[in-house]
Chains A and B, each alone.
Chain A
Amino acid sequence: MTSAVKFDNVSFAYGSTRLALDSLSFDVQSGHLLLIIGHNGAGKSTLLKLLNGILRPSSGEVQMVGKAIADRPTSEIARTVGVTFQDPGDQLFAKTISKELQVIETISLHNRRWPDVNHVISMLNLSSYLHIHPYDAPFAVRKLVTFAIAALSGAPVLGLDEPTAGLSSREHAPLLGAISRLCHEGRTLIVVSHDLTAFLPLASSVLVLQEGKKKFHGGVQELLRDDSILRFAGLRLSRPLRLKRYLGLPLDNSHKGDFQ
């Protein structure tokens, strides 16, 4: 089976100093969610920028659906890969949130089965913010809007940088529901996040980066069997997750339905 995304021995250096990514290889299947964790400076955001062509590898190759993206212009890659950044302000430019969503609805070139713009608005509870300027909306709303744009773009691969940062638990549930649905529709997600409680249940695999190198790549249960890997990444499971592990309760959602 061809991977949706493949990094083949990719290295990248900003300037001539230390490598931000060092001989990194991994692949992700269509419809899967890869969770990327690691310390600040581990290379997570660099990886997302290599994914959508803002940065190009110093050596090695990034492939989408079996084809190298090296000769393709960034604008063309952007149609295959939608990326949202940590700060939603970097990505919003229309006068109202409604216009922001309409623009992407019109230029989306993909055969997108789900979602349509109305569905996204109701699912993410954005309806009361449609007519205001993105900068007058709360941070969490702007964050959800950048996600909505990525979803609406129809891009088969989505890269999300800390999508739950700054969101309260009320805003969490609809976002995670939408992400789960996107996977179910066959879209491939690459999520950089410290929020293990939110994303371990959704992840098909986890990549732990340390100073640009692959420290771990494998399944969720395999990751959780060994505390030392998580601690290496500067992360601990939240208290309820640790209690669940102690009690022998499953930590992923393999025992639940795909989504509600």
Chain B
Amino acid sequence: MADAISLERLSFRYPGSSKAALDEVSFLVPEGSVCAVLGPSQAGKTTLLYALAGVLGSRFANAKVAGGLSVHDEYFDGVPRSILFPRVSLVLQESRIQITGFRSTVREELAFTLQNLQIAEPESAERIRDAAEALAISRLLDRNPLELSGGELHRVAIATVLVARPQVLLLDEPARSLDSNSVFQLSRALNSLRKSQTTLFTDADLELPLQLADQYIVLNRGKVLFTGNRGEFINSLNHFVGLLPVDDWLEITGHLRRNPAIRQTIDPRIRRFLP
């Protein structure tokens, strides 16, 4: 399958900073897959998303950049110089920022994106319906966005960019400050979108990644420490002690390894959460 994203030794240094925020970062993300970019704060996760979305290139003309990246078949020397929306769409960590705050219903909030893209009826109604269905917010369409819970509002924020039908969806720490139940709903929603686009999200925790991601990239201080698939990642957890909250997961994987027969005896509803 073709690669939706490819980074080739991409380096980026913010103007005035002495150290690289991204330091020769290379990886490939196949089309239609879900990729988790993991690491502690200051690892370069958000910078990486901003590079892909075109935010860095449009905002920091004088930054020091080397290497390059491709989105689908388009190659950029360095980072894209303009925002790639709607082809590449970014959902910010603070999802509230993404909500206009003056639309009185979720439906109008989603319609606002489509008005900006000059997409008219009946297509706009269809896109809103599809996005709402995918993110399990259909029953919220006539509610006021400001009355929703944190988890609901977050899914609405994702829907505001999803209606643009991006090829690549970028999410900055979407699981942050969500409880386990909201994380599960989010993982189900993002899972249902697999066929229509490629998703790349960042996280400092492992709960959402382990439920959702096909590919795992661990960053620390701007450098790639690890890339691999789910199985490879789970087998490497012990390398990330102190960088990622792996301790409890290590105890679980250790227990399952010592008692391999146990897995089959576990309720399937719980088994799907096991690493």
- Spell out A's residues near B (CB within 8 Å): 140, 168-173, 197, 236, 238-244, 246-247, 249
Contact = CB atoms under 8 A, between A and B. Distances in A.
Contact of A238 (B180, B242, B243, B255): B180
Given A169-B204, A170-B242, A170-B243, A240 B40 contact: no
Interface residues of B, number: 25
Contacts of B255: 247, 249
A170 B218 CA distance: 14
Contact of A169 (B180, B243, B251, B262): B243
B111 interface: no
A249 B262 CA distance: 13
Given A170-B242, A197-B245, A247-B262, A238 B40 contact: no
Contact of B40 (A170, A244, A247, A249): A170
Contact of A243 (B181, B243, B270): B270
B230 to A, nearest CB: 16
Contacts of B244: 169
Nearest to B206: A240
A244 B248 contact: yes
Contacts of B266: 246
Given A197-B248, A249-B252, A239 B207 contact: yes
A60 B92 CA distance: 49
Contacts of B206: 240
Contacts, number: 54
Nearest to A246: B270
A168 B180 contact: no
Interface string B174-186: 0000011101000
B41 interface: yes
B75 interface: no
Nearest to B211: A239
Interface in B183-222: 183, 204-207
Contacts of A246: 266, 270
Contact of B251 (A170, A173, A236, A244): A244
B174 to A, nearest CB: 15
8 contacts: A168-B41, A169-B242, A170-B40, A236-B179, A241-B248, A243-B273, A243-B274, A247-B262
B273 A140 contact: no
A238 B252 contact: no
B274 A239 contact: no
